[in-house]
């Protein structure tokens, strides 16, 4: 087995040292749950164990299976607070589904990502319990997708549903760490488009696929819910070193997530929604080239010239981002969700 990259060894040493110091100061563990997913054949449970000096408060499960966590108003308003965290590494964790218990551990950054076979859950929203050693139990929402489902949506977040002007460092830092979440800008028509498409295919899922850090998931979930976006699992990433390098590749993360969904739900044909401000056309185009059997269409939100400049520094031509897809995978482009929906519906007539 290859030796881990120096970056991961340095990060692990830092985490071990900081975990020890914080525990000596009386900090305890608390658990954050993320929305998981699965089918009648498996369930993927996601969360994170943190070290914290603040007492936990219990979570409440909504009627749709989603979890409402109590929180401080300051934590809701300022995104930077989500990044001031200390992951608790190698903590024993139990995931409880009904009377069944599955044992696992938090990873080197405190994350929980466990797949449980044959969970015995019917399609729809459910709540499972995560018990980390030393922490109060929390509930995690999971969306169980019917194995007979044939349609689904995968949506990027930044500049597709929310205007954040990524990846310019200063602007991204301002939007993420400083501005209030209520001050972020919506992309017109995307929420109605998603609600309409999912309404036409009962029981179909939506996944929000982003290169953003998991730390922002609670803020983004609240924002999307507030503005009428359908509930769905988020597939995000952990910034920082890996076993192969100093930084994680967002493009690799998106590509691997798409192929994983294709393996997990081989009968679903996906509409992939993104924007032309980063790498979505290339990623989606390459995926459609490799797996045209599971791609129904690609919908690209076109950024304005001003947004292109903020996102890249210079305008990007359509030719440079032209998706490399086979002819049987249609590609639609428009500046907002209203226009994209009209194109998608017209193509189905």
**One domain, residues 44 and 156:** no
**216 located within any domain:** yes
How much is the pLDDT for 197? 97
What backbone phi and psi angles, to 5 degrees, belong to 234?
Answer: -105, 140
Question: Structure tokens of 77?
Answer: 């308003």
| pTM of the predicted structure, to 2 decimals | 0.83
**1 located within any domain:** no
How much is the pLDDT for 214? 84
Q: Which residues, 6+ apart, have CB-to-CB distance to 90 below 8 Å?
A: 105, 106, 107, 108
Cα dihedral 102, 106, 107, 112 in deg (nearest 10): 70
Beta bridge partners of 49: 31
**One domain, residues 133 and 265:** no
**One domain, residues 319 and 334:** yes
**One domain, residues 115 and 232:** no
How much is the pLDDT for 196? 97
Q: For the chain, which residues score pLDDT lower than 50? A: 1, 55, 58-63, 65, 69-77, 80, 168, 170-171, 174, 178, 241, 243-247, 315-316, 318, 320-322
Last residue of a domain, one of 114, 144, 174: 144
Last residue of a domain, one of 144, 178, 201: 144
In angstroms, the CA 146 to CA 123 distance is: 5
- Domain with 166, as residue range(s), is 151-347
**261 located within any domain:** yes
**One domain, residues 261 and 135:** no
**One domain, residues 192 and 295:** yes
Q: Give the CATH number, domain containing residue 309.
A: 3.40.50.1000
**One domain, residues 203 and 325:** yes
**45 located within any domain:** yes
- Number of domains the chain is built from: 2
- Please, is 247 exposed, middle or buried when counting C-beta atoms within 10 Å of its C-beta (0-12, 13-18, 19+)? exposed
**One domain, residues 284 and 181:** yes
Instruction: With CA atoms as reference, report the closest residue to 29 among 100, 128, 113, 105.
Output: 105
How much is the pLDDT for 248? 57
3-state secondary structure of 304: coil
In angstroms, the CA 97 to CA 119 distance is: 7
How much is the pLDDT for 45? 98
Q: How many residues does the chain have?
A: 349
**One domain, residues 139 and 171:** no
**293 located within any domain:** yes
Last residue of a domain, one of 144, 163, 192: 144
Q: Give the CATH number, domain containing residue 131.
A: 2.60.40
How much is the pLDDT for 342? 97
**One domain, residues 65 and 211:** no
How much is the pLDDT for 340? 97
């Amino acid at each position: 087995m290859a030796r881990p990259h120096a970056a991961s060894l340095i990060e692990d040493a830092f985490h071990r040292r900081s975990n020890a110091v914080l525990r000596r100061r009386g900090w305890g563990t608390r658990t954050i749950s993320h929305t998981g997913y699965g089918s009648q054949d498996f369930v993927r449970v996601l969360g994170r164990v943190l070290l914290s000096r603040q007492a936990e408060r219990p979570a409440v499960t909504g009627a749709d299976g989603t979890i409402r966590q109590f929180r401080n108003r300051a934590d809701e308003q300022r995104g930077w607070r989500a990044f001031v965290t200390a992951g608790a590494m190698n903590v024993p964790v139990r995931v409880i589904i009904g009377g069944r218990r599955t044992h696992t551990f938090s990873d080197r950054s405190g994350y929980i990502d466990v797949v449980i076979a044959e969970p015995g859950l019917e399609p729809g929203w459910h709540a499972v319990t995560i018990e980390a050693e030393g922490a109060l139990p929390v509930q995690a929402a999971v969306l169980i997708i019917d194995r007979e489902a044939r349609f689904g949506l995968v949506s990027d977040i930044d500049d597709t549903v929310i205007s954040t002007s990524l990846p310019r460092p200063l602007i991204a830092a301002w939007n993420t760490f400083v501005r209030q979440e209520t001050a972020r800008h919506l992309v017109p028509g995307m929420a109605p488009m998603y609600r309409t498409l999912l309404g036409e295919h009962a029981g179909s899922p939506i996944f929000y696929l982003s290169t953003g850090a998991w730390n922002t998931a609670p803020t983004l979930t609240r924002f999307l819910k507030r503005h009428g976006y359908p509930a769905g699992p988020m597939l995000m990433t952990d910034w920082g070193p890996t076993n192969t390098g100093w930084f994680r590749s967002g493009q690799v993360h998106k590509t691997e997530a798409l192929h994983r969904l294709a393996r997990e739900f081989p009968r679903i044909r996906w509409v992939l929604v993104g924007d032309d401000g980063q790498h979505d056309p290339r990623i989606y185009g390459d995926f459609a080239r490799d797996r045209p059997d599971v791609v129904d269409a690609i919908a690209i939100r076109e950024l304005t010239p001003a947004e292109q400049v903020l996102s890249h520094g210079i305008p990007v031509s359509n030719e440079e981002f032209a998706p490399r897809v086979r002819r049987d995978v249609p590609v639609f482009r428009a500046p907002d969700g209203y226009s994209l929906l009209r194109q998608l519906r017209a193509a189905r007539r």
